[in-house]
Chains A and B, each alone.
Chain A
């Protein structure tokens, strides 16, 4: 028979073999060496701790066994991260946005980027960025996981929703957390129905709550004994508030594409828009404040000189506005609050390029929507008088915005439109490389 310690040490050997086999290949978007070095440090630490633990020290054997289990979980996730299963041109761009927001002070320096790897799994609801926790663990350099839906591999227009997830990773970076909390406490919550846990509970159970909300009370009561008095012991008030903050960061990082993606994805999961969740406020509330923010930021009111583009953009915002919940119960924030919050977040994101969304030039949107109408990937190039190709760099978010605008008029299937936009992003990356000085 083996002792618990012997089994755990055996597992260390197993993990070492998996580590050597797995990271021989180019897993992850930053290559394998950094992952390998980080994992090697973690495993070496756990093994040294196990060796230093006495056979009869059950408490520390359990502690180190738990570290080993978490490490095995991480390694198996890294192993499943395969570049063929997700849109790597999109992820490359997403990483460019996320890295400056997630840099943190470490032993190595004051601005160390975390490691990211990508996991592709399940369907529409899989979108997430899971930051590695900050609390004591066997982590040296933190490893964050970007989760994309396997079934929506090429659907880059919907991937814009990851603008929301970027904020979750940012929130778990110590230096940003205080600033983000300040925006929540000082600008977002005061005066809103969500100002305190008690006022939020009263709002959920208000007599004027929509029927679709009230119909859920008995369900939740049966399932987990949920009442107005105990709601925040079973649901998470801080998570609800953080989700709202992340929506505002999402719209500021991805612009109109984020609003379109979020309204499409959320309503596909909860068509009523009234669903209460343990970690998330009702989707209808989220879409309403995003539509209001779109108006206040000038996204939905932007005028274009070109009649065709103007008509398509108007059509897009009309369709999005059709997803607005008309019941005032869904409106959480005043226009003034939204303006204050978006202004403060803009100030926070401004020094961290390229986080902030910049509205595209009309000429770019026009070019891209015409390219898409011709089933051509949207790319920033033109032929000059001598028929020479002239290329220029264009932010990938302009391609996404053009994709959503083009979707209002095109007869192309949505999947094909997404593929064209994905190819556009890829080709735009090639353009950027070609424009680099030798």
Chain B
């Protein structure tokens, strides 16, 4: 028995919200966006967009070739959809609010291009794409409560 057991709630939603907040702040602090620790929020947002693009939110740990620890994992506590349901909805809302009728694929590409530019300083996207992405990130953060 370990010294303490705490039920750790899944941190995906608060982390996604924090990442969106940090990324929004980088537009006014481009030097901060290029520091090593800024890769974490920017890469996480990029990855969420990839999951959204392919509707690929299955992310549960697999059990190896066989699982002998039958009683270690209380599966009823593992709701496969809990971690991403709010995030996915927030992405839908933010894209609708910022990109309107622009096709999903193009909108995701635009946001990812801006994230790459923030991280590297290379291939600066058009100003209106940057503005729309900043707006998208702000909406995404707000939609996450």
Q: Which residues of A contact B (CB under 8 A)?
A: 37, 40-42, 44-45, 47-49, 59-60, 62-63, 66-67, 104-107, 125-128, 130-131, 133-141, 147, 161, 164-165, 168, 171-172, 174-175, 177-178, 181, 223-224, 233-236, 238-239, 242-243, 246, 262, 265-266, 269-270, 277-280, 283
Contact = CB atoms under 8 A, between A and B. Distances in A.
A140 B60 contact: no
A165 B70 contact: no
Contacts, number: 164
B54 A135 contact: no
A167 B2 CA distance: 33
B56 A177 contact: yes
A103 to B, nearest CB: 12
B44 to A, nearest CB: 5
Interface residues of B, number: 54
Contacts of B105: none
A164 B40 CA distance: 30
A238 B59 CA distance: 11
B64 A127 contact: yes
Nearest to B44: A136
B47 to A, nearest CB: 6
A232 B68 CA distance: 18
A138 B96 CA distance: 28
A172 B19 CA distance: 21
B15 A63 contact: yes
A130 B61 contact: yes
Nearest to B119: A107
A204 B78 CA distance: 22
B145 interface: no
B89 interface: no
Given A107-B119, A171-B62, 14 more contacts: A45-B39, A62-B8, A104-B50, A107-B42, A125-B64, A126-B64, A128-B65, A133-B61, A172-B59, A174-B47, A265-B66, A269-B68, A278-B70, A278-B75
A278 B70 CA distance: 7
A106 B65 contact: no
Contacts of A165: 62, 64-65
Nearest to A138: B40
9 nearest CB pairs, A to B: A128-B64, A177-B56, A279-B63, A136-B15, A44-B37, A45-B40, A174-B56, A45-B37, A168-B62
Given A177-B58, A238-B80, A106 B43 contact: yes
